Amino acid sequence: MSRSLQVLTTIGLATLLAACGGGGGPDLDVGGGGGGSTFKPTVYTSEGRALNSCSLDPVCSNNPLAPFFAGVSQAPAAGATLSGVVRLEVRGNDLYNVELLPADSYLPRYGIFNISGDRTLAWLDLDTTRLPNGAVNMRISAFNAPAGQPAAEIVAMPARSWNISNSGAPSSSFAASVTAAPADGASVSGTTRLEIRGSGIANAELLPASGYSPRLGVFNVSADRTMAWLDFDSRSVPDGATGVRIAAYNVQAGQPGATEIIAMPARTWNIGNGSAPAPSTFTATATMAPAHGAVVSGTTRLEVRGTNLRNVELLPASGYLPRYGVFSISADRTFAWLDFDSSALPNGTLNARISAFNAPAGEPASEIVAMPARQWELRH
């Protein structure tokens, strides 16, 4: 892979990242004269994330790569012991490719991050069971161009040593087959439950009959990796004949070394939901949340997309109290987000769901369970 131009470390970006918070008051020079960063009015991305406008300007931010910047926002501390699935996050701007790499080289790639549509957030659920037990030394690098193209590099997380410690060797058995899905030629409308069962399942996706884009749905996966399920909302695709298949993988999305099993070979479904939804239609789907069984620490971004979202809450698996978090909602009511601070809750198992409502809290409303109950392991 070609790497070129410049490399910045997060230490070199300290002043920049400090300037990325500020609000809409008068400009404030924090540099002590001439060369310092300046707080400028907050701007918002297409997905509602706040950026300080100073961070986008090379002179104001003292970052020659601006508007490209990156810094790790969630990762285990140096010396930590890791097991199971661990969430890593990077925040910045113009993120086109983010990779988990060895401390001082570019191969092997231990993981490739998912990147949000506005290119300001990248995340990776690192499956440590795919690594041998023992000490590892890794860094996170961000690039402002897709993999394989000339790019500037920012070391979002300088090298940290972690100790991989999983109780048993990962199972080499990988199998997957569909157990619940409409038959070939079936008429499909509304929400339909899809299920696959097997062993060693780490990721499963509903895909077009051929190709890998667009992804029509990403399955939830059980902690023991023997079952995956998806509540497919057929309103997300146009009416008419649609060819689909279900593919399962033995590693999580973005990680190298994946083996693919076509758990459901191509079928044609006749989607029929009538005319396009009216503006008042109420829909909601979780588009970003830790997988079932994931280890969660620090602050984790949760996101929901839909229509007519008036209130979205992180709640217990059953019941409505206590509320673990209330989402912010975009002005057009199609996008909701929550930076869930797990440190506010005790260590241990949390069973939670995400519910969306089409009326403000306290008013009569319809409820959609945007994320059915998942189990997370909270570790501080």
Q: Is 129 helix (H, G, I), strand (E, B) or coil?
A: helix
pLDDT (tens digit per residue) in 161-191: 999 988 754 455 889 999 888 888 888 887 7
Tokens of 45: 């991305």
- Of 54, 125, 57, 126, give the one whose Cα is nearest residue 290: 125
Q: Quick one: CA dihedral 176, 178, 184, 189, positive or negative?
A: negative
What is the rounded average pLDDT for all residues in the chain?
A: 82
Instruction: Tell if the pTM clears 0.85, that is, is over it.
Output: no
Contact indicator for 183, 203 with CB cutoff of 8 Å: no
Beta bridge partners, 69, equal 93
Q: Which residues contact 246 (CB under 8 A, 6 or more apart)?
A: 178, 181, 194, 196, 204, 205, 206, 207, 262, 263, 264
CB atoms within 10 A of CB 242: 17
Q: pLDDT: is 281 or 135 the higher one?
A: 135
- At 93 the pLDDT is 95
Tokens of 339: 């930076």
Give helix then strand counts, H and E, for the chain.
2, 32
Q: Which residue has the tokens 């161009």?
A: 145
Contact indicator for 363, 281 with CB cutoff of 8 Å: no
Least confident of 70-79, 166-175, 326-335, 359-368: 166-175
Tokens of 102: 């060895």
pLDDT (tens digit per residue) in 26-49: 333 333 334 454 556 888 787 778
Residue 351 half-sphere exposure toward CB, CA atoms < 13 A:
6
pLDDT (tens digit per residue) in 138-161: 999 999 998 888 999 999 999 999
Contact indicator for 158, 175 with CB cutoff of 8 Å: no
Contact indicator for 72, 89 with CB cutoff of 8 Å: yes
Measured CA to CA, the distance from residue 116 to residue 301 in angstroms comes to 11
pLDDT confidence tier of residue 23, bands split at 50, 70 and 90: very low
Highest mean pLDDT among 61-65, 137-141, 218-222, 289-293: 137-141
Measured CA to CA, the distance from residue 87 to residue 71 in angstroms comes to 15
pLDDT (tens digit per residue) in 208-255: 998 888 888 888 888 778 888 888 888 878 888 999 999 999 988 777
Strand locations in 61-127, DSSP E? 69-74, 81-82, 85-93, 97-102, 111-112, 114-115, 121-127
What stretch of H or E contains 286? Answer: strand 283-288
Measured CA to CA, the distance from residue 294 to residue 88 in angstroms comes to 12
Tokens of 172: 């080499």
pLDDT (tens digit per residue) in 187-198: 888 778 888 988
DSSP 8-state class, residue 169: P
- At 18 the pLDDT is 40
Question: According to DSSP H, which parts of the chain are helical?
Answer: 14-18, 58-61
What average pLDDT does this structure show over 111-131? 85
